[in-house]
Structures are given as structure tokens and as C-alpha cells.
Structure 1
Amino acid sequence: MLSIAITGANSGIGLRAAQALATAGHHVLALCRDPDRGRAALADINAHATHPAGLIEADLSIPDSIKAAADQITHTVGHLDVLINNAAVFDQTVREPRFTADGHELFWATNHLGPFLLTAHLSPLLAAADRPRVINVASKGLLSMPRIRIRFDQLDDPSWYTPTRAYYHAKLAQVMTTLSLAEKAEGHLETTCVRVPAVRLDPDRVAAMPRLLRTLYAPKNRMAVPAERLGETYARLATRAGSLPGPYVDENLRPVRAPASAYDRAARERLWSLSQTATGDPAWAW
């Protein structure tokens, strides 16, 4: 039995992965931002669970919430075998940038800084496991942006913001962080980043969209990959008997090329340093 923490486990791929892993007999820790939705998801996860899953409240845009979640996990398990950083925000209706109390743009804070800080706080638990793994999540949409770079001098600058730009900017950072973490852990941690294709949204997510956006999105949603299929991808990576197939893989676990800028070692080091500073210089186990 593995101890596996999954962020964004109340819906979509995270929920399906949590269900699959709990049904297979693993101890799942479901991290969710909304406690009511989290409790509803926990009931679904535990309906067929061999070992009851636990609910951890965590808002990845709020450092104190991340620290509280990590402390709760630390008091729940003696080690953590797998961390799946699945949660992300990509709300196309957020046409103007929003900022956290710490002054960070919301997509950047939630989709990059939050997972970065959570991984740091949980690194001692991961280091205590026999074969710890961190699974991060990027997007196949990065293929349409071959020249994308981290905007080092404009990380929280609202002038270039659109929901799409902000989302893929943070996803590039996740790819780069995955590569950096593998180097810094020096063989003591397995890491991979999944290049997730368009995923079919849950009905309640679609219903919450404005009517025009819902109409425009309908054809894409019909063609998208079911969340259950991608949940199995996460589960296969988490429980794989051998080594992970590569640092960047597609939904079929095949190694794929990352965006060109992700292989720039100096850029990765700069991103790591800036992320450390922005998250309060957390300590790492490696």
C-alpha cells in the first residue's frame, strides 16, 4: 500500500485518479480547496476504497493554507510515497488579472508557486519513503507555443495577462521545475511531468460557464479525452513497478520533448531561485 497525496482531488482527473488508487488499495490523501466539494468527493472516493481516503483542505494560492495542509499530512502519515500536483486554475472568464494577498497573479500563484511550496514542505515525508515520486502536470497546449519563455521580469505584471497566456506560462514553469527537482534530488527522488491533452470537463463545470462560452466549448469538450482515462494515467505513474518512463511524458506514458526553453539550465536555475524567494525560501530535504 502506497501513501499518495493528490491535489485537486474533488473533480476531473484528480478525482478519477484518487478513485482508482483508493480502489486499488492505496492510502489516498485528497487535497481540495473547497471543503464542501471535498467531502462530497471523499464519499465518492471511499465508496469502493480498500483503505479510507483522507480529506486535506488546501488552497494552493495561500501559503498558510499550504503549510497547514502539509502539517496535517505529516501528522497523518510517517512517509509519503507519491505527490501528484494536479490542481490548477484555468478559468477563461477571468478576463482581468487577479492577485493574491502576497501580490502574486492568481494563475502563477496557484499553478506554479503553490505546487512548488507544497512539494518543499512535503519533501521530508517524501525523503522518508523507499521510492518517492513527484508527478507534476503540464499541458499539450504548450505545443502551440514553441517559443514560450518564462517572463522573468514580468511575473506579476498585469500588462501581458490573458487567462491563456497566464495558464501556459505557469505550466511551462511546472515542466522546468520537474527537471530541476530531479537534478537537485540527485537520484533520491523520481519525478515526471505529464503532458495532459484536452480533458472532458465534468457536467457541473460546463454548466457553470457563461452561455456563450459553454456553446463555443461544446465541440471541444465532446472531442476531449475522458477524465477517467487520464486518471488512469496518473495511477499508472504513481504505482509503476519500474522506473518512471521519462521526465516529460504524454497520456500514454511515452517520453516526449518539452518546450525548448525548458532545457535551458540557466533559465531553470533562475526560475528555481525566484520561486524560492517568492515562497519564503522553504527548506528542502534534498
Structure 2
Amino acid sequence: MKTMLITGATSGIGLAAAHQLAAAGHHLLLVGRDHEKLAAATTSVRAVATADIDALPCDLSHLDEVRALADTVRARYDRLDVLANNAGGFFYHRTETPDGLEATFAVNHLAGFLLTELLLDLLRDSAPARILFTSSTMHHGASLHLDDPQLRHGYTGAGAYGRAKLANILYVRDLARRLSGTRVSANAFHPGVVATGIWDSAPWFARPALAVGKRLLMSTPEQGGRTLTYLAADPDVAAVSGCYFQRNRVTAPTPAAQDDAAATRLHRVCAELVGLPE
């Protein structure tokens, strides 16, 4: 039995993976921002579980809540085998979090970056351990815009989302280098185009087509969740690190996602944005 933390666990890929991992006997820490949804998700996962299922509320758009979550995990648990940074959001119009950060980058990358950095010592002490980021093929064609990290100029919802998912892949490459020899791996993955609530923020004119796409073309959350489950628990990938997966296979991301100099600069910018030492 392993102890696994999953953010974005109240719906979609996170909830589906939680059911799969709970049924396999793992101890899960489910993280969600909506208390009612988190309670409902925890109840549903406990129905199939053979180990403890704990609920940890946290709104990842608030950095203070991310810090408090890390404090809770360190104080309450003596080990953490898997950290799955799965929570995400799509913002069609530029939005800022209460911390004054561009919301797409804050929710899809900075929250996971901060949580990971704050839990690295616990993960090292729990080794072998795994760090996961739910990324996307939307990193194709994306740019980091590190000279304008708040995307105050030229914002588009798709561009901002792709940038955050590109950052996920670069960060796990950087983590894999930093964690070499510790038996803590870091990987990112594309779960497929999955019919989840992330599409609900699309503009009104796109919603009819998306509704059809959800029914006919997109994968189910259960199918998408299987990739998270595979990377969290399968022994075949225990030693794989710094990679990007599609359909449970290592896949080459774009050249921009393999730029180690950009990854180093990204780490520096993210650390500054969340108030961590570089």
C-alpha cells in the first residue's frame, strides 16, 4: 500500500484515478477546493477502498492555501509515495488570482510547482517516490513568455493553457535532473482529450460543438484516469524520470519542451512568483 496525494480529485481524471487506485488498496489523500464536492468524492471513493481515504480541502488558486496544505501533509503523514499534480482550469479571458497572478498559469502550474517544492523533503524521505503532472498535447506550439510571465499582453485562453502545460513538462525535466540518485521520479503525461468539466468555461458559441465532441470523440474520465493510475502505481515505470507520456508510452514532446536552459530559467521565474528561494 502506498500513500498518494491527488489534486483535482473531485471530478474528471482525478476522481476516476482515485477510484482506480483506491480499489487497488492505496491510501489516498484527495485534494479539492469545493468542500461539498470533496465530501461527495471522498464518500464515493471510500465505497471501493480497502485503505484509508482522507479529504484535504485546498483552493489551489490561493498560494497561502497551497502552503497550508503542504504543512498539513508534512505534519500529519510520515510518508508520501506519490504526488499527482492533476488539478487544472481553463480561463477563456485573462483572470487574476487573489495573489495577483495570471490564473491559468497559477492553477495549472504554479500551484503544483509550489506544492512539489514544499513536499520534496518528504518525498525524498519516502523514496522510492513519484511526482506526476497532468499535462497536455496543447503544449504543442506554446511559448513560455517568461519576459511577460503574467501574460498582460496578447492573452488567449488556449495560448495560456498551452504555456502552462509546456511548463509542466519542462519542470519535470528539471526535477528529474535535480532528483537524480534520490529514487524520486518526476514525469508528465497527456491523458487524452477527455470529456471533463474543464471545457465548461468555453465561450458560448463553442459549447454545442464541444457537447457533441464529448459524446462522440472524447475519452471518458475513466480512460484518462488510467494513465495517471499507471504512472502512479505500475512497477514498469518506477525508474523512468523526466519524461512525457502519451497512451502509457514515453513520447518526445516538442523541442520547446526539451529546452533545458528554458527549464532552468522557468524554475527561477516560478520561484520568484511564489516567493521561494531560487
TM over 0.5: yes
Residue aligned with 1:250, SS: strand
Cα deviation code 1:243-282 (max 9, x no counterpart):
3555334342111111211222211111011111111115
> Does residue 13 of structure 1 match 2:17?
no
> Does residue 160 of structure 1 match 2:154?
yes
Query: Which structure 2 residues correspond to residues 82-93 of structure 1 after superposition, within 5 A?
Result: 82-91=82-91
- Give the Cα–Cα distance (whole angstroms) in 1 for the partners of residues 59 and 200 of structure 2: 23
Instruction: Give the TM-score, by structure 1 length.
Output: 0.90
**Post-superposition shift, 1:82?**
0.3
Residue aligned with 2:135, SS: strand
> Does residue 22 of structure 1 match 2:22?
yes
**Post-superposition shift, 1:140?**
1.7
**Post-superposition shift, 1:209?**
6.9
Structure 1 residues not aligned, in runs of 5+: none
Q: Is the 1:32–1:57 contact (alpha carbons within 8 Å) kept by the matching residues of 2?
A: yes
- Give the Cα–Cα distance (whole angstroms) in 2 for the partners of residues 154 and 88 of structure 1: 21
Distance 1:44 1:11, change over 3 A: same
Q: Is the 2:87–2:108 contact (alpha carbons within 8 Å) kept by the matching residues of 1?
A: yes
- Give the Cα–Cα distance (whole angstroms) in 2 for the partners of residues 213 and 106 of structure 1: 21
- Give the Cα–Cα distance (whole angstroms) in 2 for the partners of residues 224 and 86 of structure 1: 18
Residue aligned with 1:99, SS: coil
Letter of the 2:123 counterpart: L
Distance 1:22 1:282, change over 3 A: farther
- Give the Cα–Cα distance (whole angstroms) in 1 for the partners of residues 276 and 111 of structure 2: 13
**Post-superposition shift, 1:41?**
0.7
Corresponding residue number in structure 2 for 1:220 = 213
**Post-superposition shift, 1:25?**
0.6
How many residues are treated as equivalent by the alignment? 275
Q: Is the 1:61–1:110 contact (alpha carbons within 8 Å) kept by the matching residues of 2?
A: yes
> Does residue 277 of structure 1 match 2:272?
yes
Instruction: Give the TM-score, by structure 2 length.
Output: 0.92
Residue aligned with 2:250, SS: coil
**Post-superposition shift, 1:55?**
0.6
Query: Which structure 2 residues correspond to residues 13-162 of structure 1 after superposition, within 5 A?
Result: 13-91=13-91, 94-95=92-93, 97-143=94-140, 145=141, 148-162=142-156
Corresponding residue number in structure 1 for 2:229 = 235
Q: Is the 1:247–1:255 contact (alpha carbons within 8 Å) kept by the matching residues of 2?
A: no
Deviates more, 1:78-87 or 1:218-227: 218-227
Letter of the 1:55 counterpart: A
- Give the Cα–Cα distance (whole angstroms) in 2 for the partners of residues 157 and 209 of structure 1: 19
- Give the Cα–Cα distance (whole angstroms) in 2 for the partners of residues 191 and 34 of structure 1: 28
**Post-superposition shift, 1:172?**
0.4
Deviates more, 1:3-12 or 1:213-222: 213-222
- Give the Cα–Cα distance (whole angstroms) in 2 for the partners of residues 249 and 263 of structure 1: 10
Residue identity over aligned pairs, in percent, reads: 32
